[in-house]
Amino acid sequence: MKKRIISPSLLSANFTRLKEDISIVEDCGVNRLHLDVMDGHFVPNLTFGPFIINHINEITNSHLETHLMITDPHKYLKDYIDAGSNTLIFHYEASTDIKRDLSFIRDNNVLAGIAINPDTDPSNLLKYFDYLDYILIMSVFPGFGGQSFIEDTLETMIYLDKKRNNKDILIGVDGGVNVKTIDKVYNTGVDVTIVGSGLYGADNIQERYKQLISNEQ
């Protein structure tokens, strides 16, 4: 069984002690961090921009995956590349030219990712596989943390895992992943889970991380 990759969502961290909250999970073995960017338009919530990501890049050596939940992402791709994103993800539902946007990200030596909402047909992504490094499957509707996992998205995970065949594409899952849901998510064949409140909401983050990466729940 493949090793579980956990990418903690910093949206659930305490921003008044961000460096400490990053260090806690890195000491557990984390080397990938998930950054949620929301514009208050594509999704109803508003979070942070390139300045904060640049600051995070200065205090960690972890791989930064930036998830743009914004309208017209092509207008802002360069800003988030320059801020230090290692993987840059935009939404299928928000882009007006997906090949252009994926190619732009790769041309700037950053890994290109695309996210899909729970009600988006995953077969829509097949024609973009040659342009993709990462697929992020939303298992909740984007915009707020702490939502319940949508069971129907398990079929999307299984489908995309089969369709990628031997292509070098990572598949991640974002939304409602916790100790109760993580086993069935990894059983679909995906590589990465984004865990926010399911990790940072624990009284003991180190023990919770051990539970999440264990294959024996």
d(CA 194, CA 83): 21
Phi, psi (rounded to 5 degrees) for 87 = -125, 135
CA dihedral 128, 134, 138, 143 (to 10 degrees): -100
State yes or no: is 36 an active-site residue: yes
Catalytic pick among 21, 39, 101, 174: 174
Integer-rounded Cα Rg, in Å, for the chain is 16
CATH number of domain containing 33 = 3.20.20.70
Catalytic pick among 36, 101, 133, 191: 36
State yes or no: is 174 an active-site residue: yes
How many domains are there within the chain?
Answer: 1
> Is the pTM higher than 0.75?
yes
User: Which residues form the domain of 104?
Assistant: 5-213
Classify strands 87-91 and 111-116 as parallel, antiparallel or unpaired. parallel
The CA distances from residue 160 to 18, 44, 139, in Å, are 34, 28, 14
d(CA 64, CA 53): 9
Q: Which residues pair with 115 in a beta bridge?
A: 91, 136
Per-residue pLDDT of the chain (217 residues; tens, 9 = 90+): 689 999 999 989 998 899 999 999 999 999 999 999 987 787 867 688 899 999 999 999 999 999 999 999 999 999 999 999 999 999 999 999 999 999 999 999 999 999 999 999 999 999 999 999 999 999 999 876 667 899 999 999 999 999 999 899 999 999 999 999 999 999 999 999 999 999 999 999 999 999 999 965 4
